[in-house]
Amino acid sequence: MLCTVVCQMSRSDPKLALSQEVIVCPARVFLLELIPLDAKNVASAATIAPKGLSPETSRVTLARWHLKNANNVTCVSIVAPTLHWRCVTMTRSRFLQGNEACALGGIAAGALFFAGYPISPATEIAELCSNLLPPKGGIYIQMEDELASLAAVVGASLSGMKAFTATSGPGFSLMQENIGFAIMSEVPCVIVNVQRFGLGTGIATQPGQSDVMAARWGTHGDHSIIALVPASVQECFDLTIEAFNLAERFRSPVVVLIDAIIAHLRETVRIPEQVNKIERIRPSGPIEGFQPYAPEENLVPVLPNYGDEYILRVTGLVHDQYGYSSANPDVGGQLVGRLIDKIELYSHELPEPEYTGPEDPDVVVISYGISARSALSAAQRGGRQGLSIGVLKLKTIWPFPEQAVTRTCARASLVVVVEMNKGQVLREVKAAGITRAIGLNRTDIRVIMPGEIISFVKERCSCAGS
């Protein structure tokens, strides 16, 4: 079905069955405003009714025709026998699912290529890209598996297109070889991983937060990687844009790590008419003797496109600045060191954690994704019960924001890490020096609720007091 129609009863005129219709399609949200037809509007009715459809045709039929045949139309009129319906695109805010926000964020960032393989609970991203990219001159391609999907994304990026893919746990595991290849060959791209429950096939439609370490260490060898963790549908949009910007800035793959709840949650998203976009730096200067892996001051090389006059050699092997493979220990050590340092030394440019709560809390809760929403609600409720709880919501999970964590937790008597796994981020918090931190964990598909957090904090505080 092309669109879903949501109707609202009129309060201003009881004789009118409807006052407005909202038509929701994969690309846009339209508001149909009710305007009584006068002589002028009747005269214009014939000009807007499609050929073969009279002004007496039903509103929904006309609406569907306009949505199907006018991709770039921002205002169309829908005609009924006695009513004039004006269709206006709502460009400032949209009611979106998290997966839809990721797809729209990628396209807003300038992505023109998506390759993927359907997998729950991430399929909506591929579905929406298949609808939106071709009319924009972009490319959508369904590959035979996730390994091939990321290979296609790497190739598209090296050809000059911003490119991304989306998957879930089993597919993310398949991608690890090419994630390592993209890190070694310094290919900017974005991988959206919508986390589901369990290892192996798990439960395809249920949530989890257990891919944290897979995002960091899933591929073999020493490396660094950037991974962002949205906790709202708005952040799905914003952090996907940020992921593309960081991929171009650092010439590296970036992971957007969502959980299935956030992916399927629907919220109002503010979409600006323009977004800040970082474009990759192209080479300049002499073509002869060009070194495609010679780093700039920020340790990131410029990136020519395949087919440019500048040579581009791509390999997953250890290579020198010309792109030729090398077994020289100095070349290998310097390359791996630079690939790590170009991210770790500039981690201050990544999205910082967001702290909410009193200036000097007794308890700090560290969390991310859907669990962070429960933590924020628990902090509000706990405040009304006399508890002093602050929440540090992570936005960047890799590189782990050690300084922000240690600074926020420095004076707290209790530090609780809330996550839907066996304590993957808790390990990092303790490694940052907060050895007193304890975990509140679930691994049974159920979301950690605010009441559980409050009870957990009260129990630990009473134990500390005794």
The answer, yes or no, to whether residue 150 has pLDDT greater than 80, is: yes
Identity of the amino acid at 396: T
Q: Would the pLDDT of 234 be above 80?
A: yes
Q: What is the pLDDT of residue 461?
A: 85
Q: Which domain holds residue 217?
A: 96-351
Q: What is the pLDDT of residue 463?
A: 61
- What CA–CA distance (Å, rounded) separates 114 from 142? 8
Question: Tell me, what's the pLDDT at 301?
Answer: 97
Same domain, 168 and 308: yes
Residue 115: pLDDT above 60? yes
Asked if residue 186 and residue 131 are part of one domain, the reply reads yes
Query: What are the structure tokens assigned to 110, written together?
Result: 């300038």
Reference 5, options 24, 18, 19; nearest CA is 24
Do 189 and 309 lie in one domain? The reply is yes
Mean pLDDT of 8-16: 33
The residue out of 319, 351, 383 marking a domain boundary is 351
Q: How far is the C-alpha of 433 from the C-alpha of 191, rounded, in Å?
A: 31
Last residue of a domain, one of 90, 118, 135: 90
* Per-residue model confidence as pLDDT tens digits over 321-344: 999 999 999 999 999 999 999 999
- What tokens were used for 145? 């598996």
| pLDDT at residue 78 greater than cutoff 90 | no
CATH code at position 405 = 3.40.50.920
Number of domains in the chain: 3
End-of-domain residue from the set 90, 117, 143 = 90
**Domain holding 229: CATH number?**
3.40.50.970
- The verdict on 84 and 138 lying in the same domain is no
Q: 81 and 133 share a domain?
A: no
Which tens digits make up the pLDDT trace of 342-351? 999 999 999 9
Query: Residues 349-381: pLDDT tens digits?
Result: 999 999 999 999 999 999 999 999 999 999 999
pLDDT mean across residues, the chain: 85
Query: Is residue 362 domain-shared with residue 346, that is, in the same domain?
Result: no
State the pLDDT at residue 389: 97
365 and 347 share one domain? no
Q: What is the pLDDT at residue 144? A: 97
Looking at per-residue confidence, does 82 or 254 come out higher? 254
Where are the alpha helices (H) located in 30-187, listed in sequence order?
A: 39-48, 59-69, 98-108, 123-132, 146-158, 169-185
pLDDT exceeds 90 at position 231: yes
The CA distance from 87 to 77, in Å, is 6
pLDDT value, residue 34: 37
Residue 10 burial class via C-beta count within 10 angstroms: exposed 0-12, middle 13-18, buried 19 and up = middle
> Given the structure tokens 């890209």, which residue do they identify?
129
pTM of the model: 0.81
Are the beta carbons of 276 and 110 closer than 8 angstroms? no
- The answer to whether residues 123 and 245 belong to one domain is yes
| Same domain, residue pair 177 and 100 | yes
What amino acid occupies position 125? I
Same domain for 338 and 417, yes or no, is no
More confident residue, 420 or 63: 420
- Does 85 share its domain with 226? no
Q: Are 81 and 173 part of one and the same domain? A: no
